[in-house]
Amino acid sequence: MAGADLPGPTEWGEHPHGVGPWVAEYGTPAPDDPRLDPELLANGDRRNVVDAYRYWTRDAIVADIDRRRHTFHVAIENFGHDANIGTVVRTANAFAAAAVHIVGRRRWNRRGAMVTDRYQHIEHHTGIPELLEYATRHDLTVVAVDNVAGSVPLETAELPRRCLLLFGQEGPGVTEDAKHAAALTVSIAQFGSTRSINAGVAAGIAMHAWIRSHADLTTSW
């Protein structure tokens, strides 16, 4: 495929293994900037962050993303240690979601998050009623994502600007309580033999649908 070996937008000009100490990289004394981490300036920055955040402290990165976070939230039910949660968190971070909500078990497999959970607001709720209370308090429309009868195709649906995208676990999908509580249920069009797609993939598709409808693309990296 033409251009397949070219770098993507987040890789343009990026060192493949991060950056070394500031002095070694730039040949000048480290700048006096409160956003920068003295330890990273001295030893280099190998973290999984875009170049714009090299040498920044974790708090400074979170604060900067907070200025630009979007108004959609993501929730995923976690009643059986779903391994997809890490992927959902990583994708939510990439799209600057307002927050990720874990419903059910508090513990989840962070490996798939690739440390992005350090920069993403994460809330925990013991069950759907608690999640719905949060949604009501923050004026969020609950949108369940599941391929079930009566759902509206995501491809033609109008996602609310202030919404909470709700996903079920791999296999059973969204629980009955969640389906009944949702103001809208959307499905993702499929054309092959599988009954459903991976929950982490579905979350990414739905989040990007919101981005296409509401995000200011001039603020992306």
- pTM of the complete model: 0.89
What mean pLDDT do residues 9-14 have? 46
In DSSP terms, which residues pair with 186 in a beta bridge?
Answer: 145, 152
pLDDT band at residue 83 under the 50/70/90 scheme: confident
pLDDT of residue 84: 86
pLDDT digits (tens, 9 = 90+) for 156-199: 999 999 999 999 877 778 888 888 889 999 999 999 999 888 88
Tell me the C-alpha to C-alpha distance, in Å, between residue 6 and each of 10, 13, 16, 19, 196.
Answer: 12, 12, 14, 21, 32
The percentage of residues in the chain with a pLDDT greater than 90, rounded to a whole number, is: 74
Burial 72-102 (b: 16+ CB within 10 A, else e): bbbbbbbeeebbbbbbbbbbbbbbbbbbbbb
What mean pLDDT do residues 85-109 have? 95
Which DSSP state fits 189? -
Q: Is the pLDDT of residue 1 over 60?
A: no
CATH superfamily of 69-216: SPOUT methyltransferase, trefoil knot domain (3.40.1280.10)
pLDDT digits (tens, 9 = 90+) for 26-48: 999 999 999 999 999 999 999 99
Instruction: Evaluate whether 203 touches 167 at the Cβ level (below 8 Å).
Output: yes
Cα distance between the two ends of the chain: 24
Enumerate the domain spans of the chain: 17-66, 69-216
Instruction: Evaluate whether 168 touches 199 at the Cβ level (below 8 Å).
Output: yes
pLDDT digits (tens, 9 = 90+) for 108-157: 988 889 999 999 999 999 999 999 999 999 999 999 999 988 999 999 99
